Amino acid sequence: MRTMRWGIVAALLALACAGTPARAAIMRLDAWRGHVAIGFGAIVSDSLAPGGSLSAAAGIDYPMGAKWRVGPTLSFDLLGSSNVTRGSIQAGLDYSLFEAAMLFTYLPSRGPVTRWSFGPGVASPRADLVVSAGGAGFSDLAVGEVKPELALDATLMPRRMTTVGVGIELGTRFVPASRVAWTLFTGRVAIHY
């Protein structure tokens, strides 16, 4: 299993470097681009999860050829609260997700989507338990762990960006949390600069 992981890492690095000419081995500061995004996020795979709430992300990327970019992205999602009743006791769950992903971005020439970003990441899904008494009866619902994730984003924005471009970013994250795997959907306004 460990050999397979290193093989995947080596293949991704080879893919990233394949389109880079030898003269571009030195990174240029002006080639870096960044983005910030804010909007809405919701978990759709957990029946106890609330309807969703605030989602924010920021990242940078660097060109790896004419059509590819690569770089890290950080995001934080405050997903809201829900109440659970067992017997005569009620407890609350506060949902949130923090994640860091290495995204490979493809820039297609045609179509409504101008950026496809995908890649692996590390996520911290949380469902914090809020209860005044009898908390042991709800401990199976709490989530607080660090797990791998798969990330996918599609950005719709003008193709010709001078200094700043504004668009809509639609994304999904899959995180295999212990109690139930989290599938998160986001819709954000993205500013690329």
pLDDT in tens, 89-128: 788 888 999 999 999 999 999 989 999 999 999 999 998 8
| Position 30, amino acid | D
Q: Enter the tokens of residue 113.
A: 């989507």
Cα(73)–Cα(190) distance, integer angstroms: 13
**Pairing mode, if any, of strands 147-156 and 182-192?**
unpaired
Count of other CB atoms within 10 angstroms of residue 28: 9
Q: Is the pLDDT of residue 18 over 70?
A: no
pLDDT in tens, 64-95: 999 999 999 999 999 998 888 887 778 888 89
**Predicted local confidence at residue 115, as pLDDT:** 95
CA end-to-end distance (rounded Å), the chain: 40
Which of 71, 79, 75 lies closest to 46, judged by CA?
A: 79
| 94, HSE (Cβ side, Cα atoms, 13 Å) | 6
Alpha helix (H) residue ranges in the chain? 2-18
Cα(164)–Cα(192) distance, integer angstroms: 6
Dihedral angle sign, alpha carbons of residues 179, 39, 171, 72 = negative
User: In the predicted model, what is the mean pLDDT of residues 51-64?
Assistant: 94
Cα(150)–Cα(167) distance, integer angstroms: 22
Cα torsion 158, 161, 165, 167 to 10°: value is: 20
